[in-house]
Amino acid sequence: MTVDSYLELFTTLFGWAFYGILWDVLVGTGIVFLPFLGILIDNWREPAEGGQFGTVTGLSLRRMEIELFIALLVVVLAGQPAALTPLNAGTLSYTPPPTLINPTPTTATVAAPQSTYGTTGFTGSPATVNIPVWWYAVMAMTSGLNHAVVEGLPSAADMRTYEQQARLATIADPRLRQEASDFFSQCYIPARSKYQAERPATAAVNALLATYGPDDPEWMGSHVYRDTTGYYDTLRPTMQISGWTYNAARDTEYDPAAPPTWGKPYCKEWWEDGSIGLREKLINEADATSAGFSGLVVAVAPALATEKQNDAVARTVLTNSPPSWSNNDLVANNSGTTGWLSTAESWVKGGLASGGVVTASAMFSVTMTAVLQGLPMVQAVLLLGIYALLPMVVVLSRYSISMMVIGAMAIFTVKFWSVLWYLALWVDQNLIMSMYPDVNIFLQIFANPGEHDIKRMLLNMITTSLYLGLPLLWSGMMAWAGVQVGRSINNATAPLARPTEDAGRQGGAMGKAVVSRGLRR
C-alpha cells in the first residue's frame, strides 16, 4: 500500500495502533454496548407512546431486528479490528516524485525510511496492526486511485527545484570570496570604467551584446570584456595572485634572478583557466554548496551552449555572494541632468517601489517554500487524528451506515490532497515556462535570488493560492457531497421505519377514539 509522504509511513501505523487502543478501552468499559441499548429503548418507547393496538408490537420487533442487524454489521465491518485485514509495516511504501536533483528517487519503507522518521522520531511503530475491514478497503482504494491519477497526469518540469537550489549556491570559502573581490576591484572595475568611457559600438561588440544580452557588461564574467581587445586580455592585477606561478614572459616587472612567490595573470586567463581559473572555482563552489548546481543548469537548459551554462552558474554564485555592494538604480540616476534634488527624489521613489516589490516577492517565496514543505506533514498528522478518533465516531453514531460512508469520504478527501498538490505543481511549472519562454531570462531573473520582478511575485502568489486553495475547494465540495450522501442514505432507510410510524399514528388515533367514547358515556 502506497502513502503520500515520508511521515505518513509512520503516522498511518500509529494512527491505527491508537485506534486499536481506544477500541479496546471502549470494549473494556462497556461503552460499545450502549448504542445497542439505545436501539432497544427507542424501538420500545416510540411505539408505546403511540399506543399498543393492532400490529404495533410486531412492527416494533421487526424494526428492532433490522436496526440491530445493521448495527452488528457496522461493528463487524467498521468497528472491530479484524485479523483478516492486517496492516503490515512491510507493505507500506512511499516513492517521492522525481526531481532535477534526484530523477530516480529511492522508494522509502518503514525498514528504510530515507529520513529521520522512525529512527530519531516516531520510533517504536508496530510491525502489524489489525484494522477493520471497511477502513482497510477505503485506504487501499484511495491509495490506488491517487497513484493511478498521478501516473495518468502529464509530467511536470521541476523549475522550482532549480530556484530553491539557486538560493543555496554561494561562496562558503573565505579565500575564494577574497579572490572574487580582488578580481572585482583589479579587473572588473577598470574594464567597466574603460567601457563606460569609450562606449565602443563596433560590430564585434554589438555581436557579443546580441549573443549574451545587453546586460552582459554588468557582471564580472562579461564576454565583452573577455573577447574584446584592450580589456581583460591586457589588464592584470596590481598584486600577486595566489596559485598562479610566476611567468617571466608575462611578469616582466620582476627580476628573473629573484622571482616572486606568485605571478600576476592576465584577467582573461585568471577568469577562464580550466583548472585554477576563477570561474571554474565558482562553479565547483556552487556544486559544493548546492548539491551539484551546475548539473541542474544543464537539466533545465540542455539546449543552451556550455559557455552560457557555465556563466549562469558563476553569475548565480556571485549574486548570492557579491564582492561589493552596488545599486544599478543609483548608477542610472547619477547620469541624469535634472538636478540633485530631482535625482534624490527619484532615488527615494524608486527605492520605496523596489523595496515593496522585493519585500512582497521575498515574503511569498518564503511562504511558498514553507507551505510546500509543511503541507504533506499536515496531511499525515490529520490522517493520524482521523484514524485514532474513528472508534468514538463509530460508537457515537450508533453504528449507522451513513457514518461509514461519510467517514470513508473524509479519509478519501484528505488523502486526495496529494493529487491536488501535484496538479498545482503542474500548473505552476507551465505558468513559469509560459511567462519565461526564454531560458536565458529564466536563469538570470526568475531563478536568480538577487532579482525580483512583478512576474515572479505573481507566480509565487498564484502557486501559494493553488496549494492552499485547491484542497480547501475540494474539501468544501466533498463536505457538500457528504451531506447529500447522508440524506440519501436516510431517505433510503426511511421506508423501513415508516410502517411502524404509521402503526403508531393509527394506534394513537384509536386510543384517542376509545377515550372520547368513555368520556361521552
421-459 pLDDT per residue, tens:
889 888 888 888 888 777 777 777 666 655 556 777 777
CB 172 within 8 A of CB 285: yes
If asked whether residues 206 and 281 sit together in one domain, one would say: yes
Site of grid cell 559557455 = 307
Q: Which helix (H) or strand (E) holds 3?
A: none
Nearest to 221 by CA among 190, 187, 177: 187
Residue 322 pLDDT grade (very low, low, confident, very high; cuts 50, 70, 90) = confident
Average pLDDT, the chain: 79
If asked whether residues 52 and 180 sit together in one domain, one would say: no
The boundaries of the domain holding residue 133 are 8-158+360-517
Evaluate if residue 26 carries a pLDDT over 90.
yes
Distance CA 81, CA 83 (A): 7
The domain boundary residue, chosen from 295, 329, 355: 355
Does residue 1 sit within a domain? no
Burial bucket for residue 155 (CB in 10 Å: 0-12, 13-18, 19+): exposed
Strands 82-88 and 93-94: unpaired
Distance CA 74, CA 394 (A): 8
Residue 500 pLDDT grade (very low, low, confident, very high; cuts 50, 70, 90) = very low
The more confident residue out of 166 and 497 is: 166
> What b-and-e string marks burial along 342-379, b requiring 16 or more CB atoms within 10 Å of the CB?
ebeebeeeeeeeeeeeeeebeebbeebbebbeebbeeb
The domain boundary residue, chosen from 355, 372, 402: 355
Total domains in the fold of the chain: 2
Distance CA 284, CA 295 (A): 11
The domain boundary residue, chosen from 355, 387, 403: 355
Site of grid cell 510491525 = 127
Q: Which helix (H) or strand (E) holds 406?
A: helix 401-415
If asked whether residues 284 and 394 sit together in one domain, one would say: no
Strands 128-131 and 108-109: unpaired
| Residues 171-229: tens digit of each pLDDT | 889 899 999 999 999 999 999 999 999 888 889 999 999 888 888 898 899 999 999 99
Distance CA 104, CA 513 (A): 82
| Residues 277-306: tens digit of each pLDDT | 999 999 999 889 888 888 888 888 877 778
First to last CA, the chain: 77
Determine the average pLDDT of the residues in 304-320: 85
If asked whether residues 397 and 474 sit together in one domain, one would say: yes
Name the 3-class secondary structure at 121.
Answer: strand
- Measured CA distances, 424 to 166, 418, 420, 459 (Å): 22, 10, 6, 12
